[in-house]
Chain A
Amino acid sequence: MKAKFLVIFALAGSLVASIPLLAHHGNAAFDVGKRVTVKGTVTEWVWANPHCWLKFDAKDDKGNVAHWVAETNNAPDMIERGWSKNTFKPGDEVTVTVEPVKSGNPVGRVVGVVLANGQALGMSYLEKK
């Protein structure tokens, strides 16, 4: 059974390792390949440079609140991926998958977000019509 789960994780790793990475900086700060999925409430969506970043609060079982910060790419890149300045507003419920940093802080870079209505936002470029 353990071996089966190892296979599953290895396969999942091979998938997520192919996600386009960020251009502003390298991988030095990140726990590369690790994925954390967090459900939380948006506090701020900063549409800015050099990257946009999403701030959201997530509670654990004991009611402790972690203030997460997850970055995306720059604004033009996000536009080309179908995101916009109005994608999130404070209070939105989101499920965010991030590649976390090694420092242990609740910080990471966005792999994907699922909105409350089920819409999934990814990091792939849109195609022209």
Chain B
Amino acid sequence: MSKVSSLLEIFGLVKVSPGGSKQNRKSPHNRVVRGSFSSVVSHMSNSTSLICKCRYVAATISLTAVLAFLISPTMASAQTGSSGNSDAGKDKTTPSGPILRDGWGTPVTNALKPGEKPGPAPRHDISGTWEPARGPGDGIQAFGPRDMPSDGKPGHEPPFTAFGLETYRAHKPLEGEERVLESLSNDPRNICDPMGFPRADFYQFRHTQIMQDEHKVAVLYEFEKRWRVIWIDGRELPKDIPEPRYYGYSVGKWADDNTLVVNTIGIEGESKMWLDEAGRPVSDGVHVEERFHRVDRNNMELTVTIDDPKMYTKPWVAMNKFPMRLETPDYDVVEMMCIPSEEEQYYKDYGDPASGVDSKQRK
């Protein structure tokens, strides 16, 4: 049984979050779910009830796990030339499992106690440390914005202008429909150039610390440890942009007690930035609207709309009510940096051999 347990754990099949199946069935990517078990469920026929599916899948998993593990030494031997069976798993003493810790090393707890209901949202206040409510994978958005992923499905292609399409074609992304080999990408992120805004919302959108006073809201992104300021002191967006910025110029106004509408212009644009991980373009003429709607004390939804006439024929919604939940006030966010020297080492050790190229061929 320990062998089977090990196998299931390796393959990510034993850590199933309660209710995960229902949530995960809504997710377009297997990559972004917490439990792989539910992904298997999502692939099942819709003609039977979920309970029946679970039973069927559980039986399938059990059978397959046993059979696969029994034959695994043969597979390993065939593929590696190794002659012996693995002795891993012989030790029956399983150490206690790891627990989730924050950047400070403190065990992470839910902001709500078991059975506790969220209180009402405070008025004109979106401060706190927020995380994607469906788990960290939901904010990665490797295929592009959550509600417009580059996955070839109908309705998921933004309405490119001719120039937008031309710019898109010049990009060599690592993800999405136009993806290329590891070392052949020209994504400015590969050399740790700043992603800027709005890509900060669309890629590695993880723990996000929001701090505010009566004048401004500061958004602190986990990825790259970048931050931006949204002015809420009543000022208007600048008529003439002093100089373009990676994170643009943002002003926010309260649409109601619990919804902050943020408008941003004045970004660097196409010469230095991409819109998303899939290589969609963004221009210096883009106008981005974000709606931070605090549903209650512990939950917030973010909707982001792109209006970029240079690149897209009409505005489109990139993230629609993206759910975020509040962490405990003492949650310490880990460092997630882009470090040029580590990137270089990564490509040397891994990216180039993975791509079958040498460093001279690298883009």
Contacts and interface: CB of A to CB of B under 8 A. Distances in A.
A50 B346 contact: yes
Contacts of B60: 11, 14
Contacts of B12: 18-20, 112, 122-124
A25 B30 contact: no
A37 B356 contact: no
B115 to A, nearest CB: 15
Interface in A44-71: 46, 48-51, 53, 55, 58-62, 64, 66, 69, 71
Most buried by A among B10, B84, B95: B10
Interface in B157-177: 173-176
Contact of A15 (B17, B61, B181): B61
A56 to B, nearest CB: 12
A28 B177 CA distance: 10
Contacts of B37: 18
A61 B81 contact: yes
A103 B355 contact: yes
Contacts of A23: 31, 140, 142, 175, 204, 277
B82 A69 contact: no
B35 interface: yes
Nearest to B78: A36
B124 to A, nearest CB: 29
Interface string A1-28: 0000000100110111111111111111
A127 B17 contact: yes
A120 B31 CA distance: 20
A94 B10 CA distance: 13
Given A28-B180, A48-B339, A126-B98, A8 B30 contact: no
B182 A126 contact: no
Contact of A11 (B10, B64, B72, B140): B64
Interface stretch (B105-113, B211-219, B258-266): B105-113
A74 B342 CA distance: 12
Interface residues of B, number: 92
Given A48-B342, A76-B334, A21 B80 contact: no
A115 B175 CA distance: 32
B29 to A, nearest CB: 8
Contacts of B345: 46, 48
A38 B80 contact: yes
Contacts of A22: 31, 142
B30 A20 contact: yes
Given A11-B60, A26-B179, A127-B100, A37 B86 contact: yes
Nearest to A95: B88
Contacts of B354: 29-30, 71, 101, 103, 105, 107
A8 B33 CA distance: 25
Contact of A12 (B15, B68, B180, B356): B68
Contacts of B180: 28
Contacts of A119: 94-95
A17 B30 contact: yes
Given A21-B30, A37-B76, A116-B88, A122 B100 contact: no
Q: Lowest 10 CB-CB distances: which A-B pairs, in order?
A: A112-B10, A82-B98, A60-B81, A103-B356, A26-B179, A25-B174, A18-B39, A114-B88, A124-B12, A126-B100
Given A49-B337, A103-B353, 8 more contacts: A8-B68, A30-B354, A35-B75, A38-B82, A103-B355, A105-B353, A125-B34, A127-B15
24 contacts: A11-B63, A11-B68, A15-B36, A15-B65, A16-B11, A19-B36, A21-B31, A24-B142, A25-B174, A28-B181, A37-B79, A38-B79, A39-B76, A61-B83, A76-B222, A82-B100, A105-B356, A111-B11, A120-B7, A120-B10, A124-B34, A125-B100, A125-B137, A126-B15
